Structure 1
Amino acid sequence: MKINSIKIISVILITLLLSSCVDDNFDVPTPSGSEENKELSIILGNIANDINWNLVSIADLKSRYSSGSAPVAITSNDVVKGYVVSSDRTGNFFQEIYIQDSPENPTAGIRVVLNLRSSYTRYNVGREVYVYLNGLYLGETNSGDGIISIGGKVNPDDSDEIEVISENQLGNHVFRSTNTETIIPKTIKVAEIGDNLIGTFIRIEDAFFPAELDGLTIIDPNEDFDTQRTLSACNGSGFSEFILETSSFANFSQVKMQSDEGGAISAILTKDFGGNNFVVVINDVEDIQFNESLCQPLDLSTFTPIFEEDFEGTSGSGDLTITGWTNYSQEGTRLFRSYNDSNSGSRATSIGAFRSGDASTITWLITPSINLDATANEFFSFESSNSFADGSELEVLISTDWDGTEANIATATWNSLPAAVVTDSENFRNWVSSGDVDLSSFTGNAYIAFKYIGSGDSGSDGTFEIDNIKVVAQ
């Protein structure tokens, strides 16, 4: 099914009559003045010529803070650069802007909380901004919500939270350049939604409003603040769900959802107030482009397998050895092992650091090369289970530039695949499907890796088991 297009018709005009806190003055953004330009020039000069001044990336800045911890006071002359991706023009954002590190294909985004209404007239979408961080704080406005933000001070009523940058502080800390770039949303699958993309402008295709939402307004009339609507998107042979969150003060709150068409939605990825769910928040109802026929799930039963491994050809219970595969210990002594799974009654492979005595275990199991140029619409899947479910990690990665040698594993480019991996809470008898992971965006000769991270410590020595690896294609 395709994401139901929200038909935006004359009902939009009705929404403009809504009473809310929205400033309906839709003036164009004011240009940065000569004084602001001069101050920014001084800052950029200091970065270029003074070793005590640093231009830091958004990702590096966010790495200084852990969710739920006390705010971090910034006392160094650090400056972070970003491009504005949010807008409060329609009332769907309030006292905040989100900036990301690039106008296109961003790698990180962050929220800046500020005491300014109609901020779109100053920090318009695409505007290049620089935030002078000395004297500001890094933290969360609601402790533990997972939305790392830049603020002006610590909340006097809760020392674990930050508050907005005051209007008086803004002139000394947030500077606009004269550049405004076109923001290109980053197209992702629902399964790729994660903390690394919070604060960035994303696009989800093949999306729709489910039939049960047909005819309802975007905002639940019984909600005072935010409404969450669960949307769907086609995902290989099935569907994925994600949450659209909209403020009750948005001037398009009375637009009705329709489920007969689908398409793409572009929005900022963030989390809800409690940090319990990822949500997408649109700048304007026009960011929902549902004007296509509904998508249909693919029938993967008609696809041809181009790679399969069920480990039935292995024997014994020693270290796994299969022609073409790489079983490599980057740190520690443990390798993936071959074994017979009594619960499924089949052969499989497992990895765990239990009683290894190793301070760190990093082990790779990598498939042989898989040619993705000879086919189209490739999908990857596998099954995973666990034993002694204790805090270890299993990452699923893909590379198209690895040369096949152990010496160059660490220097190759490995992209994370949005595959479902068994969780610690799953019963050890159960096998969990990864789902159908779309590989169609990759070309060339690809290698798929299972990367285990753990240690001999009892808190991170769990065991993962893998079976029924398959790549199918048209």
Structure 2
Amino acid sequence: MKRIINVNRILNVLFLMLLLSCVQDDDFSVPSDLNEDENKSLNQILEGLKDGALNEISIASLNQQFVAGEVVQFASHSVVKGYVTSSDKTGNFYKEIYIQDSPSNPTMAISIVLNQVDSYNQFNLGREVYILLQDLYLGETASEVFAIGGEEDGSRVGLLTENQIKTHLFRSTETVEIIPLELNFSDINENYVGMFVAINNVEFPESLEGQSYFNAVDDFDTQRKMQRCEGFSYEEFSLETSSFSTFKNEILPTQNGTIKGVISKSYGGDDFVLVLNDTKDVVFNNPRCIPLNADDFTIIFEETFNDAIDEDILDTEGWINFAERGQVLWTEQIYSKNGYAEFGTFGATDTQNVAWLVSPAINMDAYDNEFLNFKMGQHHITSVRNTIEVLASTDFNGSDVLNATWTEIDAKVPTKYDEWYAFKDSGLIDISQFSGILYFAFKVTGSGTNEALDGSYQLDDFRVLTEK
């Protein structure tokens, strides 16, 4: 579906013709200066921004105009500026460039799909670029990545042609250092796609020792699992390597360290992946990490839900199961002889469901250095509006859930990109700032009538611990 946005035809397409083409370098050096045509075109853009003939729009503003599954054509004389975060110098990126809105602490990034290889000769890592948007298209790629393209290709954007690159995509003389944004695997979501990031305390599983970045049995891309210690287990993420990369046959490092790359998505958009610009950004010189040992902690309270009765309403002793909206409650489930709690609205008739599962009381004054830990999974979560919140209260009276003061806890919870039915460790969550009698709650928002909001969240192995 095509929509026209920011209609402003006062200036017609003849304005574009005044912007002379940008010439790609034929050699393999990256120039610090621009040729005469490039200087003239860039100066015209800068003058247009200065006198109001052109309007600068942020990548974040473009994202607000973006509607998944739709392609929109730019009609206004707008320009977006960014800094290149990806490089096809090693062949690991192909006919795409990612740019983010700032060299450090970026807030948003976007892909530009273009019919050009060896684009690093012109749009090198850290290069400041300007994109003249009129008549280009905003949408997503086949990988469901937010992107600018040169045509409408069904529900996707198509590549900028060679002529469109010359008349719409401009580099300045500025090349800056891109400071990687430091993240954990569990932090990664849609907002970070296209950004250059660094992840610390990373290693490849021992099962991959001796393996290369690319698996020869794959046709196009290989995903290698990475892991980092988090609490009592590992959290995982995938590194994706192209069959065309120059480093595909390099052997994976066996130690632990820091990896830098660009957040992207696998083909089809099913998974987030990390994509390397170069293996120079993989610095694994530290000893491998070891997850925490539960024997080093004293368990203050634990609920494994192992007494669950499959598909019954959850009535575990001491827990409060409360429906704020709708009729659906948390249930007890069993899979492979393992009991757990689950909330899902599939098959329900309520337009909105909000349900709480509240823990028994914990006396925080009886201990020091307390931590919260649990495992959580999901299945059929497809929307960011189908949410789960982890909350804590010190003024809950044990019965009136809605009149208590609840503080949200920064906890790792599943997203729609996590594997279904795979329980993930929350890590150790420091709760020592609380005192008195403390309750925890897991609050889910969903819908029984909206298929996008009828997914399920699963909770297991809830523990409050203190260090011995």
User: TM-score when scaled to structure 2?
Assistant: 0.69
Matched with 1:231 is: 226
Residue deviations 1:441-461 (CA, integer Å, cap 9, x gap): x99669976442223526446
Tell me the secondary structure at the aligned position of residue 139 of structure 1.
strand
| Partner AA of 2:81 in structure 1 | K
Are 1:151 and 2:146 counterparts?
no
Partner SS state of residue 117, structure 2: coil
CA contact (8 A) 2:411 2:426 kept: no
CA contact (8 A) 1:58 1:80 kept: no
C-alpha spacing 1:230/1:188, structure 2 compared with 1 (3 Å): same
Q: Does 1:72 align with 2:72?
A: yes
Give the Å deviation of 1:289.
0.6
Partner of 2:446: 454
Aligned residue number for residue 179 of structure 2: 184
Instruction: Indicate whether 1:381 and 2:374 are aligned.
Output: yes
Distance 2:315 2:251 in 1: 59
Work out the CA distance in 2 between the residues paired with 1:283 and 1:189.
Answer: 19
2:167 is aligned with 1:166: no
**Partner Cα distance (2:79, 2:266) in 1:** 28
Residue in structure 1 matched with residue 288 of structure 2 by the alignment: 294
The answer to whether the Cα contact below 8 Å between 1:126 and 1:182 also exists between their aligned partners in 2 is yes
Q: 1:166 to 1:54 in 2, by over 3 A?
A: same
Q: In the alignment, is the contact (CA less than 8 A) between 1:154 and 1:163 conserved in 2?
A: yes
Aligned-pair CA distance for 1:109: 2.3
The aligned residue for residue 426 of structure 2 is 436
Please say if residues 214 and 222 of structure 2, whose CA atoms lie closer than 8 Å, have aligned partners that are also in contact: yes
For 1:186-226, what per-residue CA distance to the aligned partner results, in whole angstroms no more than 9, with x for missing partners?
23333333333221222232222334433343334455543
Residue matched to 1:11? none
Q: Which runs of 5+ in 2 are unaligned?
A: 1-25, 306-312
1:132/1:182 CA distance change after superposition, 3 Å: same
Q: Is the 8 A contact 1:127 1:176 kept in 2?
A: yes
Deviation at 1:151, TM superposition (A): 0.8
2-structure distance, mates of 1:86, 1:443: 42
Contact 1:82 1:129 in 2 (8 A): yes
| Deviation (angstroms), 1:281 | 1.1
CA distance in 2, matches of 1:462, 1:257: 37
Q: Secondary structure at the match of 1:38?
A: helix
1:245 partner letter: E
1:124 is aligned to 2:124: yes
Task: Quote the Cα distance in structure 2 between the aligned partners of 1:279 and 1:134.
Answer: 31
Q: Higher mean Cα deviation, 182-191 or 85-94? A: 182-191
Q: Distance in 2 between matches of 1:177 and 1:167?
A: 19
Matched residue type, 1:271: K
Q: Which moved more, 1:391-400 or 1:163-172?
A: 391-400
**2:247 matches 1:252:** yes
Contact kept in structure 2, 1:140 and 1:149, CA below 8 Å: yes
Structure 2 distance, partners of 1:223, 1:468, is 37
Shift of 1:114: 1.8
| Equivalent residue number for residue 470 of structure 1 | 463
Write out per-residue CA displacement over residues 127-158 of structure 1, whole angstroms, 9 at most, x where no aligned residue.
Answer: 3333232211123443xx22232111134xxx
Question: Deviation at 1:27?
Answer: 3.5
Q: Secondary structure at the match of 2:238?
A: strand
Structure 2 residue aligned with 1:57: 59
Identity %: 31
Closer, same or farther: CA 301–354 of 1 in aligned 2, 3 Å: farther
In the TM superposition, what whole-angstrom CA distance separates every residue of 1:276-324 from its partner, at most 9, and x where no partner exists? 433221111101111111111111342345787899xxxxx9999x99x
Residue 229 of structure 1 deviates from its aligned partner by 2.8
Pair 1:219–1:335, CA change in 2 (3 A): closer
Q: Quote the Cα distance in structure 1 between the aligned partners of 2:419 and 2:227.
A: 27
Secondary structure of the structure 2 residue equivalent to 1:138: strand
1:270 matched to 2:273? The reply is no
Query: What RMSD over aligned residues (CA atoms) do the two structures have, in Å?
Result: 5.0
CA distance 1:297–1:468, change in 2 (3 Å): closer
| 1:218 equivalenced with 2:213 (yes/no) | yes
Matched residue of 1:202: which SS? strand
Counterparts in 2 of 1:416 and 1:78: CA distance versus 1, 3 Å: farther
Amino acid at match of 2:63: L
The 8 Å contact of residues 328 and 353 in structure 2, kept in 1 or not, is answered as no
How far the C-alpha of 1:185 sits from its partner, in A, is 2.1
Report if the CA contact (8 A) 2:32-2:173 is conserved: no
**Is the contact made by 1:147 and 1:270 (CA closer than 8 Å) also made in structure 2?**
yes
Letter in 1 for 2:43: K
Instruction: Tell me, yes or no, if the aligned pair for 2:66 and 2:139 is still in contact at 8 Å.
Output: no
Q: 1:385 to 1:265 in 2, by over 3 A?
A: closer
* Alpha carbons 1:79, 1:131 under 8 Å: kept: yes
Mapped partners of 2:363, 2:277: distance in 1:
41
Task: Specify the code of the residue in structure 1 equivalent to 2:149.
Answer: G
Q: What does 1:18-97 correspond to in 2, within 5 Å?
A: 25-31=28-34, 33-45=38-50, 49=52, 53=55, 55-58=57-60, 60-61=62-63, 64-66=66-68, 69-97=69-97
Deviation for aligned residue 1:235 = 2.8
Match of 1:18 in 2: none
Question: 2:215 & 2:256 partners in 1: Cα distance?
Answer: 21
Kindly provide the amino acid, as one letter, of the partner of residue 435 in structure 1. D
In 1, Cα distance between equivalents of 2:178 and 2:74: 29
Q: Could you tell me which amino acid in structure 1 is paired with residue 139 of structure 2?
A: G
Greater displacement, 101-110 / 56-65: 56-65
Unaligned runs of 5+ in 1: 1-22, 312-316, 427-431
Q: What is the TM-score of this pair, normalised by structure 1?
A: 0.68
Hey, what's the Cα distance between the residues in 1 that align with 2:356 and 2:298?
Answer: 27
How many residues are aligned here? 422
Equivalent AA in structure 1 for residue 426 of structure 2: D
Q: Secondary structure at the match of 1:40?
A: helix
Could you say what secondary structure the match of 1:437 adopts?
A: coil
Higher relative contact order (CA 8 A, sep 6+): 1
C-alpha distance 38-447 of structure 1, shift in aligned 2 (>3 A): farther
Does structure 1 retain, via aligned residues, the 8 Å contact 2:141–2:157?
A: yes
